[in-house]
């Protein structure tokens, strides 16, 4: 904290110097400053004030008019259908910002995504939506509305390692209390221990696997790990290793029941099997008086990719990654079609996103126009392809307003009928909610983001902050570090825990973050440092957790 106070004081002194110099010699004039009035753009809040709703919740930007518009739409839909909206979260794995067509990829990078593109262009495309740098932290963030520093799942659990959702109030748990049927399908990876399993944190039913796809395959594959796959003794050790090796069916009554073993053959068919399960759930809910929540988390496109035989070579790129993208696009289109066939599409809001940026350590890689990849807090590791679709409710638009996947927690609960003030009480005064309610941003025709800033984390560190187009790093992951030649993935680089004066970037003019421009934006730096100081005060009051941490913690 002392470091940041010193930075702020230094920045203020430099700012005074800059103001003096400019007043003596204004650029382009010898008589005074420019007379141009300029323009304040929507979704740009630097210099404005966010409002504190509760001590244990992130401050928000207030937009009374769009709140009124969104509330009116919700009331009209509830009157029409007699219940709150159904909620579908469709979460991909390791898919980069520019992999889908709606962000410039798709056909251009060899994996057309017509179904995703159609829904995206008929909803709101969020060009500045953010995950955490890796899988488990993001999934826990969605479930809890907290950054990894607060929920404590700082990295993915390995081979049966316990999770950290024990006793935590989760999104599905609150949705259950609000009258929703809660269904989970696909990848879990938030802990295999019984207390952290989905049936014990709010899901009525869950069908999928509890870990991550490479944990079932990497030690079996002679290409990736011949040292184990071709050693009978080592292979036998992994076969008996104490983690759940199976696709499972989880219910409160029966726990996590084994369905079938996941190996190099069955893993090819997981996404189709999971799609069948989600389709069955949607059809079963056709005449239900209760609204439902479906969390569908795909296996694709996490390395090692093993495409379904029917999709092998189906993408123009003919890579296992792109084949997986084509398969997932088909599955998404299939679920939307089922919603339409059963008359539920009009009352279902669909959130589409990815758990982090593309994997860069195991080719073929996903696509991002930004620096970095999965495992880093550079934009390439955390800015993810995201859209929200609700037929005839959300107007067709694109927005660069800030959106954090933690916001899904607040937003989904708000859509289900709980006010923000009540959510603050429900989670408890000792728990901080990092998400903000973005309902009005999404539903209002000209909606603006309710998020003032975006906090980045990296492992156990507060890494960076973004406000508007400006971002400053105080802790970062250095790719191409001295420890390894060539381009490395996010998990292989060195972590720099003290950047001195901070690494500042204008993300509009330098989205690659390859030059620190802080010295040219000292006034901006002062405001960003103030926001970092604010969040450090939050961390004093609500201390960081480390349930799945690092040896350096």
For 69-90, the pLDDT digits (tens) are 999 999 999 999 999 999 999 9
Q: What is the pTM of this model?
A: 0.92
Considering only CA atoms, which of 165, 241, 187, 544 is closest in space to residue 355? Answer: 187
Q: Is 90 exceeded by the pLDDT of residue 283? A: yes
Q: Between 360 and 93, where is the model more confident?
A: 93
Per-residue model confidence (pLDDT) at position 491: 66
Per-residue model confidence (pLDDT) at position 484: 46
Per-residue model confidence (pLDDT) at position 492: 63
Largest CA distance in the chain: 83
Q: What average pLDDT score do residues 215-239 get?
A: 95
CB-side neighbour CA atoms (13 Å) of 299: 33
Q: What average pLDDT score do residues 40-62 get?
A: 94
Per the DSSP assignment, residues forming a β-bridge with 88 are 294, 350
Q: Band of the pLDDT at 457, cuts 50, 70, 90?
A: very high
**Distance, CA of 157 to CA of 247 (rounded, Å):** 17
Q: Is 90 exceeded by the pLDDT of residue 299? A: yes
Contacts for 405 with CB less than 8 Å, ≥ 6 apart: 129, 130, 131, 132, 138, 141, 142, 353, 384
Per-residue model confidence (pLDDT) at position 503: 86
Q: Band of the pLDDT at 204, cuts 50, 70, 90?
A: very high
Q: Is 80 exceeded by the pLDDT of residue 18? A: no
Q: What average pLDDT score do residues 40-44 get?
A: 89
Q: Between 69 and 213, where is the model more confident?
A: 69
Q: What average pLDDT score do residues 393-397 get?
A: 98
Q: If DSSP codes are grouped into helix, strand and coil, which group holds residue 121?
A: helix
Q: Is 60 exceeded by the pLDDT of residue 419? A: yes
**Distance, CA of 122 to CA of 118 (rounded, Å):** 6
Q: Is 70 exceeded by the pLDDT of residue 540? A: yes
Per-residue model confidence (pLDDT) at position 34: 62
Highest-pLDDT range among 119-128, 152-161, 360-369: 119-128
Q: Band of the pLDDT at 15, cuts 50, 70, 90?
A: very low
Alpha helices in 26-154 (DSSP H): 64-81, 114-121, 135-144, 148-151
**Distance, CA of 288 to CA of 318 (rounded, Å):** 42
Per-residue model confidence (pLDDT) at position 270: 98
Q: Is 80 exceeded by the pLDDT of residue 434? A: yes
**Distance, CA of 305 to CA of 48 (rounded, Å):** 46
**Distance, CA of 252 to CA of 110 (rounded, Å):** 43
In this structure, of 15-19, 400-404, 518-522, the range with the lowest mean pLDDT score is 15-19
């Amino acid at each position: 904290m002392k470091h940041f106070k010193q930075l702020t004081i230094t920045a203020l002194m430099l700012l005074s110097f800059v103001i003096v110099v400019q007043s003596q010699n204004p650029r382009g004039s010898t008589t005074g400053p420019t007379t141009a009035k300029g323009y304040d753009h929507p979704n740009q809040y630097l210099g404005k004030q966010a409002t504190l709703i509760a001590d244990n919740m992130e401050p928000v930007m207030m937009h009374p008019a769009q709140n009124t518009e969104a509330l009116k739409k919700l009331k009209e839909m509830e009157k029409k259908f007699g219940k709150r909206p159904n909620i579908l979260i469709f979460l991909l794995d390791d898919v980069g910002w520019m992999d889908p067509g709606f962000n410039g990829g798709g056909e251009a990078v060899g994996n057309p995504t017509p179904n995703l593109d159609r829904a995206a262009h008929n909803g709101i495309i969020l060009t500045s939506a953010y995950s955490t740098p890796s899988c488990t932290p993001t999934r826990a963030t969605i479930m809890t509305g907290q950054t990894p520093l607060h929920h404590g799942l700082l990295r993915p659990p390995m081979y049966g390692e316990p999770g950290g959702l024990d006793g935590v109030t989760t999104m599905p748990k609150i949705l259950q209390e609000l009258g929703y049927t809660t269904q989970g399908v696909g990848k879990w990876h938030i802990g295999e221990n019984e207390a952290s399993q989905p049936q014990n944190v709010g899901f009525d039913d869950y069908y999928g696997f509890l870990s991550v796809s490479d944990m079932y395959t990497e030690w079996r594959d002679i290409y990736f790990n011949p040292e184990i796959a071709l050693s009978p003794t080592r292979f036998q050790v992994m076969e008996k290793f104490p983690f759940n090796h199976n696709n499972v069916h989880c219910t409160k009554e029966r726990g996590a029941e084994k369905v079938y073993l996941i190996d190099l053959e069955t893993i090819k068919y997981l996404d189709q099997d999971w799609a069948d399960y989600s389709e069955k759930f949607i059809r079963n809910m056709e005449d239900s008086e209760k609204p439902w929540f479906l969390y569908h988390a795909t296996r694709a496109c996490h390395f090692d990719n093993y495409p379904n035989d029917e999709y092998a070579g189906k993408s123009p790129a003919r890579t296992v990654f792109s084949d997986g993208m084509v398969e997932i696009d088909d599955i998404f289109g299939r679920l939307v079609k089922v919603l339409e066939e059963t008359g539920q599409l009009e009352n279902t809001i669909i959130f589409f996103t990815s758990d982090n940026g593309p994997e860069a350590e195991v080719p073929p890689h996903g696509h991002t126009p930004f620096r970095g990849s999965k495992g880093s807090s550079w934009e390439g590791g955390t800015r993810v392809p995201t859209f929200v679709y609700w037929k005839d409710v959300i107007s067709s638009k694109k927005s660069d307003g800030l959106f954090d996947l933690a916001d899904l927690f607040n937003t989904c609960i708000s859509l289900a009928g709980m006010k923000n003030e009540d959510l603050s009480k429900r989670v408890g005064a000792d728990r901080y909610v990092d998400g903000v309610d973005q309902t009005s941003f999404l539903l209002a025709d000209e909606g603006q983001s309710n998020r003032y800033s975006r906090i980045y984390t990296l492992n156990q560190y507060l890494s960076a902050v973004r406000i508007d187009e400006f971002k400053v790093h105080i802790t970062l992951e250095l790719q191409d570090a001295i420890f390894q030649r060539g381009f490395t993935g996010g998990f292989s680089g060195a972590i720099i825990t003290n950047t001195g004066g901070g690494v500042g970037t204008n993300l509009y003019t330098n989205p690659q973050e390859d030059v620190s421009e802080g010295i040219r934006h000292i006034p901006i730096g002062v405001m960003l440092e103030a926001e970092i100081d604010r969040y450090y005060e939050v961390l004093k009051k609500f201390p960081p957790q480390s349930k799945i941490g690092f040896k350096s913690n």
